[in-house]
Structure 1
Amino acid sequence: MNFLIFVIAMGVLIWGADMLIRQSEKIALRFNIPEFIIGATLIALGTSLPEMAASIAASAGDKPDIAISNVIGSNILNITLVLASVFLIAKNISPNRDFFAKDSTWALVPVFVFILMILDGVISRFDASLLLLLMGAYLLFLLQDAKNIPEEELDDVDMAHFSWTTTIPMLIIGFILVIAGAHFTVESASDIAKSFGISEWVIGIILISLGTSLPELVVSISAAVKGKVDMAIGNIIGSNMANTSVVLGAAAFVKPMPIESFNYIFDISTMIVATLLLVFLTANKLYTKSAGISLVIILGLFLEHTIQSI
């Protein structure tokens, strides 16, 4: 039964993601908002809701390992799986935005802040407040930056086929389908994993993080296939920012979370390396299939270590 639920949930997830992309693009055109801003805010926060739900539930249920490993695993997979998929699938990657100058470092800052926070062995409510404040600073930066983009760089608005009465309900339905699909995907995968006696950290770092990263994966691939590269990359950067700040912050706000960081050096180090590679790729504009393969190699090493630790 769990396998059947998993397959159905995946179908719902893909359907909802496609609907989300279409309606978000219409809103971007309606307000002359750059596709990157839509991807880094509306879609990124929306696709991070499954991570938030899973981590908050885990924290409230006294399972901090699942809550924290879900965030770490999601950040790793967003870069090594989702971004790699965009590089490998997209025919031509020529983003209009300078991601290095304006955005990639925003994915690096919360990672370093996270490392400092876990040195004392616990993520407290005060730490949570700082993480949420950091996300607020990022959103403020995006909104201010959007005002500085010259009008000639934005697409012409096609008002003929836009209707709020259609777009808003479809957008809400898309979010619901994505979240519900991810939820049941995670639940069914977790039940399957638990039947094999796998540890909570491994369940969080692989199965739950993979399940909750599916919205980012599907949305980013859909955007890349449609040539919306700025939206795809913006979704990845925004999602990682949301994972480390909002998701982790919300979970720690519910209940302070202890962590034995030295037991998970490899996973934490992999997250740092993947984020640094994201900065390197955007700095040198290496949006190529070769870069995608490099990211997949890191993913392979991460998966090999996790499987061996079972």
Structure 2
Amino acid sequence: MSVVWVILGFVLLVVGGEFLVRSSVALSFKFNISKMVIGMTVVSFATSVPELLVSLQAALTGSPAIAINNVIGSNIANIGLILGLTAMVGTIVVDKAFYKINWPVLMLFSMTLYYFLYNDNMLSFIEGFILFTGIVLFLIILIRNSKEASVSDGVDDSLSTISNFKISIWLLIGAASLYFGSEWLVDGAKGIAISLGVSEAVIGVSLIAIGTSVPELAASIIAALKQEKAISLGNLIGSNIFNIGSVLGLTAMVKPIPVTESQILSNDIFWMLGFTFILLPMVFIPKKFEITRAKGFFLVFAYSIFIVLIFTAK
């Protein structure tokens, strides 16, 4: 039965996330917010809501390991699984913003998260506030340094004509789907952890993390098959930054998150740091500014090793 709850939870999170993004963008148009700002702020936050609610639900129901590893696992999956598979479909061209802004900021957020957790085995309100403040500052810098014409925002112009009634319905559907989806997913994941005899940290960093990353995976693969240039390493890095800054930041501000399972600090977070770090040399060696099929295969292979090890480690 736990598997059923997990599947239903995943489905509702995908549906709820889609409705929330659409209604949020449509509402933003009503307030005459520029398309660039909508793409960089409203869409970014809206797409992080499923992960946010899963982490909040886990933290509030006594499963802090799931709350933390949902983010750590999602960040690993975004690079190892999603970026890897997308590159295997077609080479990804990397722009210079990668090493000038995106990668340094992601490493800073990742190292800061590690320090906060390692320092006292807790992500406190103050630390969550610092992470969330960091994401706000990052967005301000991005917006100031971006030009309307150069931003690949992925915002659907047709949403500017949606009626207020339809926006309200979408918001209600999105909110209800996300609420019940996060609740069912966390409850089902706990049941699976018990039945498999593994820790909640393992389920959080694998099953839940992959599940909350499925929409991004599907979108990236479809875009790659269509040979759309909108695919960028920056989008996935941005998602990872938001996971740490907004998801864990806001969750810790609502309820401080203790580190209850040692493998989070002794193993899982080092995999996240490793996948994040390896991106820099990978972008330059051997072929500059390209994530080739071979590099994509390497990432997926490394991710496969990670998954096998976390389930077989004693």
CA distance in 2, matches of 1:194, 1:261: 15
Alpha carbons 2:20, 2:170 under 8 Å: kept: yes
TM-score (norm 2): 0.77
| Counterpart for residue 113 of structure 1 | 112
2:307 maps to amino acid: L
Post-superposition CA distance 1:244-302 (Å, at most 9, x none): 11111122222323326864322111111101122333453132111111111221221
Post-superposition CA distance 1:75-128 (Å, at most 9, x none): 111111111122122x35345664222322221110011122123222221111
List alignment gaps of at least 5 residues for structure 2: none
Matches within 5 A, 1:74-85: 74-85=74-85
| Counterpart for residue 295 of structure 2 | 291
1:279 aligns with 2:277: no
| Counterpart for residue 56 of structure 1 | 56
CA distance in 1, matches of 2:283, 2:238: 15
Match of 1:83, SS state, is helix
| Counterpart for residue 133 of structure 2 | 133
CA distance in 2, matches of 1:213, 1:172: 21
CA distance in 2, matches of 1:154, 1:67: 31
CA distance in 2, matches of 1:205, 1:160: 37
| Counterpart for residue 306 of structure 2 | 302
- Taking a change above 3 Å as real, the CA distance of residues 180 and 83 of structure 1, as seen in their structure-2 partners, is farther
Number of aligned residues: 303
Alpha carbons 2:128, 2:248 under 8 Å: kept: yes
Match of 1:230, SS state, is coil
Q: CA deviation at 1:49?
A: 1.5
Alpha carbons 2:2, 2:192 under 8 Å: kept: yes
- Taking a change above 3 Å as real, the CA distance of residues 232 and 171 of structure 1, as seen in their structure-2 partners, is farther
CA distance in 1, matches of 2:73, 2:281: 20
1:141 maps to amino acid: I
| Counterpart for residue 209 of structure 1 | 209
- Taking a change above 3 Å as real, the CA distance of residues 59 and 136 of structure 1, as seen in their structure-2 partners, is same
CA distance in 2, matches of 1:145, 1:243: 22
CA distance in 1, matches of 2:207, 2:74: 10
Alpha carbons 1:58, 1:66 under 8 Å: kept: yes
Alpha carbons 1:12, 1:181 under 8 Å: kept: yes
- Taking a change above 3 Å as real, the CA distance of residues 99 and 19 of structure 1, as seen in their structure-2 partners, is farther
Post-superposition CA distance 1:163-191 (Å, at most 9, x none): 34499679758966984796355544443
List alignment gaps of at least 5 residues for structure 1: none
- Taking a change above 3 Å as real, the CA distance of residues 153 and 176 of structure 1, as seen in their structure-2 partners, is closer
Q: CA deviation at 1:196?
A: 2.8
CA distance in 2, matches of 1:73, 1:161: 32
Matches within 5 A, 1:183-198: 183=182, 184-185=184-185, 187-198=187-198
Match of 2:105, SS state, is helix
Which of 160, 163, 168 is 2:161 aligned to?
Answer: 163
Alpha carbons 1:128, 1:252 under 8 Å: kept: yes
Match of 1:100, SS state, is helix
